[in-house]
Structure 1
Amino acid sequence: MRMRIGLSGGIGSGKSTVAGFWREAGATVIDTDAISRGLTATGGAALPAIAAEFGPQLIRADGALDRDAMRALVFADAGAKQRLEAILHPMISAETQAQAAAATTSAIVFDVPLLVEAGLRWRQRVERVLIVDCAEQTQLARVMQRPGWTREAAEAVIRQQARRAQRRACADAVIVNDEGLTLATLRLQVLALAQRWGCGTIAGIGASTHR
């Protein structure tokens, strides 16, 4: 039986980097955010329903979702967020299940940005929850380095996400990826945890690391 791991963390925590190290450890990583982006890219399956619900002005000239406009809308209107989720979540869930069914590795890592916010819906699907954690100021600094992101936009996302204490309380393991931690150290933490959880054989990590 494959181990099913839920991976989550706040925006700017480094969750995607951690997911990459899980791939290196031999796990299948299913990125729900990437699935969402595919559904809303040019020709994406969710676009007709989104255009019908929110209007064609939310669709760019190239046929993809105007993500900046939609982000502004859902931040300003909780009802709009719920309507968007009603369209996307069933599609994301179906694709997630399809990818999981096709996996052949000993572990599947579900990369879910809002795993904690989803409550029992995700907790019941996985055996372990891994949270990538860092200080809020670190989150802000990292997100503001991304093209098109302002401090106000980053702060708005952080406010809408679960608090650090909430995420940590749901975790079976926490990896702290704060400012100053090198990628090499982060990688070793992930690979060591993968070995401790029996999710892969990582050369060069001795048993003493996992006491």
Structure 2
Amino acid sequence: MSTLQTPSPSHWRIPRLGVTGGIGSGKSTVAAMLAAHGATHIDADQIARSVTAAGGTAMAQIAQVFGSELIDDSGGLHRERMRALAFGDALARQRLEAIVHPLVGQATAQRVLQAEQAGAPLIVLDIPLLVESNRWNRQLDRVLVVDCSEATQLARVTLRNKLPPDAIARIIAAQASRSARRAAADMIIYNDAQDLGLLRAQAAQIAALFGL
């Protein structure tokens, strides 16, 4: 894990830490560990799932742009079909992101405001596409990258999501490279080891830097 200077007093009001990493890196596990130390965890993936669920704010526009075949029986996004489309067609992915990302940004801003009003000691923004988007840099005090090898990503996602290797490879290729994420990081946790105790200890070190 890379080192980080203690945040300056101006950041202590309510610091915002962006946590990111490639699929299967363990970023959400680390974010949840920070939440266990008292941080407020805002999960952009969870928000994206909610806006694309049945009745979600993105669904009317998704149906209009992509058609009924991308809607499941409940009225939510057909995730398997959309995954195949979006990670095989860059234009389709951009069209989906143009619908979903603004809604996720609005909901995230609302949750940040609520956390600030509640006096959270640290706001952890769990953002898969933090590096790919230019919109987050001005909203964060620090960026933590959870990094691992592509072989580890492949093994974890195969076990967790039961996706075929070629589908996982397309997702990894569509995300920022490991070097790009590391270049954007203020802190890095390397998470190739299957050792939750070690990961928990590294998360505790990060939490301590913010007084948690």
Task: Check if 1:43 corresponds to 2:55.
Answer: yes
Corresponding position of 2:72 = 60
Q: Percent identity among equivalent residues?
A: 49
- The one-letter code matched in structure 1 to 2:122 is A
Q: 1: distance between equivalents of 2:17 and 2:175?
A: 20
Q: 1: distance between equivalents of 2:165 and 2:69?
A: 26
Q: 2: distance between equivalents of 1:192 and 1:75?
A: 36
SS at structure 1 position matched to 2:188: strand
Q: 2: distance between equivalents of 1:147 and 1:26?
A: 29
Q: 2: distance between equivalents of 1:155 and 1:77?
A: 14
Tell me whether 70-79 or 4-13 shows the greater mean CA deviation: 70-79
Q: Give 1:25 deviation, angstroms.
A: 1.1
Pick from 59, 69, 89 the counterpart of residue 81 of structure 2: 69
TM-score (norm 2): 0.90
Corresponding position of 1:203 = none
Corresponding position of 1:6 = 18
Q: 2: distance between equivalents of 1:166 and 1:19?
A: 20
Partner deviation per Cα, 1:148-207 (whole Å, 9 max, x = no partner): 411111111111111111111110100111134x11111111011111233x1xxxxxxx
Pick from 22, 25, 31 the counterpart of residue 19 of structure 1: 31
Corresponding position of 2:209 = 196
- The one-letter code matched in structure 1 to 2:178 is R
Corresponding position of 1:131 = 145
Q: Give 1:19 deviation, angstroms.
A: 1.0
CA contact (8 A) 2:88 2:170 kept: no
Corresponding position of 2:169 = 155
Q: Give 1:89 deviation, angstroms.
A: 1.2
- The one-letter code matched in structure 2 to 1:12 is G
Q: How many residues align?
A: 197
Partner deviation per Cα, 1:54-83 (whole Å, 9 max, x = no partner): 111110111111011111111222221111
TM-score (norm 1): 0.90
CA RMSD across the alignment? 1.0
Structure 1 residue ranges without an equivalent (≥5): 201-211
TM-aligned CA distance change 1:79 to 1:138, over 3 Å = same
SS at structure 1 position matched to 2:87: helix
Partner deviation per Cα, 1:18-57 (whole Å, 9 max, x = no partner): 0110111111011001000001111111111100111111
Pick from 109, 112, 115 the counterpart of residue 124 of structure 2: 109
Corresponding position of 2:156 = 142
Alignment of 1:164-203 (within 5 A): 164-180=178-194, 182-198=195-211, 200=212
- The one-letter code matched in structure 2 to 1:193 is I
Tell me whether 8-17 or 147-156 shows the greater mean CA deviation: 147-156
